[in-house]
Chains A and B, each alone.
Chain A
Amino acid sequence: MTTEMQIDSYLTALRLHLGPLTIAEREEIVREIGAHIRDSVDSGASVESVLSRLGPAEELAAQYREGFLIRKSSRSISPLVLLRGALRLATKSVSGIFVFTCGLFGYSLGAGLLFVALAKIIAPSHTGAWVRDGRLVGAGAFEYGYPPQAHEVLGLWIIPLALTLGSLLLLLTNYLIRTSLRLSQRWQSKL
């Protein structure tokens, strides 16, 4: 194999493993590593030694990919992308597991509240907050109607209340995950 072929096959492998990055980012990395290899070879090093000092293309790509996903998701506002970023964080640290669990909880509860607001519009008699003997006995949307001997307390007010609380909770959860992802980048860079 000629030197040029060895370089090409290394760069091809690198490009392949940089999959999730944007094309522009990927090409820039490949171009930079290509320049590094050619400069090193030009200065008298053998291509084998240059490539071995760079390490396997797969591992090099993995180091680039590492920061990319978390960085990308910390800029997103989509709960799915944020949760995926939090999941990645959870594989790395205990505080990551905490963030992911809080995220999951916050999104479920937020979405649940929005669902209650919607359900009150569609099936008003099956949705609400009920009180019996001064204690809350049920709140939400019930398939078989509300609990016996209880009376509803919020009425239609549950719609704006659930909408507001649900949205606030979703926004708060977004904020929590984004902040954690940002901070984790800083911790990572300090480590």
Chain B
Amino acid sequence: MAIQRAQPVEGDQPDRWEAQLRKGAVEMAALASLWQGRLYGLEIIRFLERHSQLALAEGTIYPILNRLKAEGLLTSEWVESEAGHPRKYYSLTSAGRQRLLQMAEAWTSFSGGLSRLLEPVLTNKEKHQ
């Protein structure tokens, strides 16, 4: 890793790849955070911070929620709060639940397969160190 990073062009690639990977996971994570019930934006962000190491720029989650809603996977409602302003709560639609189930299954089988594939790589790394 250290050698790769020393090369200016190729060194950027692992970071960019990781960023892409994170970006792809955020949508599934946002849907998953609503599995138990409705939450508003800030609660979703805190939920993701607490339950996964998915540190994300807060600016990215709102446009994603907006798009998921436009796709019919989420619904939203404004609810008055004790803070003095209403909050926009999101919940999963039945299409959203279905999509999340599909995503979860695909993700689990995909990552399970890859973990087996990567096992020798990581074992080798320990031997080398």
CB-contact partner of A67 in B23, B70, B85, under 8 A? B70
CB-defined contacts of B40 to chain A, threshold 8 Å:
35
Q: Is A133 an interface residue (CB 8 A)?
A: no
Please provide the chain B residues from 59 to 115 with a CB less than 8 Å away from any CB of chain A in the complex: 59-60, 62-63, 66-68, 70-71, 83, 85-88
- Give B27's nearest chain A residue, CB to CB: A189
Among the 9-residue stretches A36-44, A100-108, A140-148, the one with 4 or more Cβ atoms under 8 Å from chain B is A36-44
Chain B residues contacting A36 (CB-CB under 8 Å) are: 41-42, 58, 62
| Contact among B23, B27, B58, B88 with A53 in the assembled complex (CB-CB below 8 Å) | B58
Is A185 in the interface zone, CB < 8 Å from B? yes
* Contact segment of A55-63, A112-120, A123-131, A169-177: A55-63
- Tell whether A39 pairs with B24 under 8 Å between CB atoms, given A53-B57, A66-B63: no
A25-33, A81-89, A149-157 - the one binding chain B: A25-33
Q: How large is the interface on B (under 10, 10 to 19, 20 to 34, 35 or more residues)?
A: 20 to 34
Check if A34 sits within 8 Å of B58, measured CB to CB.
Answer: no
**B85 cross-chain contacts in A, Cβ below 8 A:** 34-35, 38
- Asked whether, in the complex, the Cβ of A39 is within 8 Å of the Cβ of B42, the reply is yes
What residues make up the interface of A, taking CB atoms closer than 8 Å to B? 28-29, 31-36, 38-40, 42, 50, 53-55, 59-60, 63-64, 66-67, 71, 185, 189-191
Given contacts A185-B71, A189-B67, A190-B24, 8 further A-B pairs with CB under 8 A are A29-B66, A31-B88, A32-B62, A35-B86, A36-B41, A53-B58, A55-B59, A191-B24
